[in-house]
């Protein structure tokens, strides 16, 4: 009898913890946008992030402005995760036969994600970090 009660109690605690984690995960599914200043004071550049959350897994694409006014570039996100209100993912791009991975980490709060972007340093130097703040677009 004691062993049965202990097992039931452990199961109830595990279930409550699991439901609590799922219930507290923020909803990042949707389209998010932010604007950054163009290079050397150029026109601002709008970036769009389209996300889908399935449990703790995050998938989606990042749409960046094309270089020199070219067509936008869509890149799939990799290693997307969400835990509570923290989201993280990577984006790997190729430029002149070189691959580089940019890491995104952010905290969700309502219709805003605030975080940091870490990109490889030029010429193998120290990684470059900058802040990002995306707003969720309202579904039309």
Q: For the segment 40-76, what is each residue's pLDDT rounded down to a tens digit?
A: 666 778 999 999 999 999 999 999 887 766 788 899 9
Distance CA(11)–CA(17), nearest Å, equals: 10
Q: Is-contact 63 72, C-beta < 8 A?
A: yes
Q: What is the mean pLDDT of residues 24-28?
A: 71
Tell me which residue of 112, 115, 108 sits closest to 135, measured CA to CA: 112
The answer for residues whose C-beta is within 8 angstroms of residue 21's C-beta and 6 or more apart is 83, 84
Sketch the domain layout of the chain as residue ranges.
Answer: 26-136
pTM reported for the whole predicted model: 0.74
Residue 4 banded pLDDT, cuts 50, 70, 90:
low
Instruction: Select the CATH number that applies to the domain covering 26-136 from these four: 2.40.128.30, 2.102.10.10, 1.10.150.120, 3.20.20.70.
Output: 2.40.128.30
Average pLDDT over residues 90-97: 88
Return the percentage of the chain with pLDDT > 90, whole number. 51
């Amino acid at each position: 009898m004691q062993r049965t009660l202990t097992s039931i109690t452990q199961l109830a605690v595990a279930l409550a913890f699991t439901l609590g984690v799922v219930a507290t995960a923020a909803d990042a599914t949707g389209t998010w946008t932010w604007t950054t200043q163009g290079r050397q004071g150029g026109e601002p550049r709008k970036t769009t992030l389209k996300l889908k959350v399935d449990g703790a897994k995050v998938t989606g694409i990042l749409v960046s402005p094309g270089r020199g006014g070219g067509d936008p570039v869509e890149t799939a996100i990799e290693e997307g995760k969400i835990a509570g209100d923290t989201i993280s993912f990577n984006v790997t791009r190729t430029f002149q036969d070189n691959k580089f991975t940019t890491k995104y980490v952010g905290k969700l709060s309502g219709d805003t994600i605030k975080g940091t972007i870490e990109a490889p340093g030029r010429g193998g130097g120290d990684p470059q970090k900058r802040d990002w703040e995306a707003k969720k677009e309202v579904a039309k």
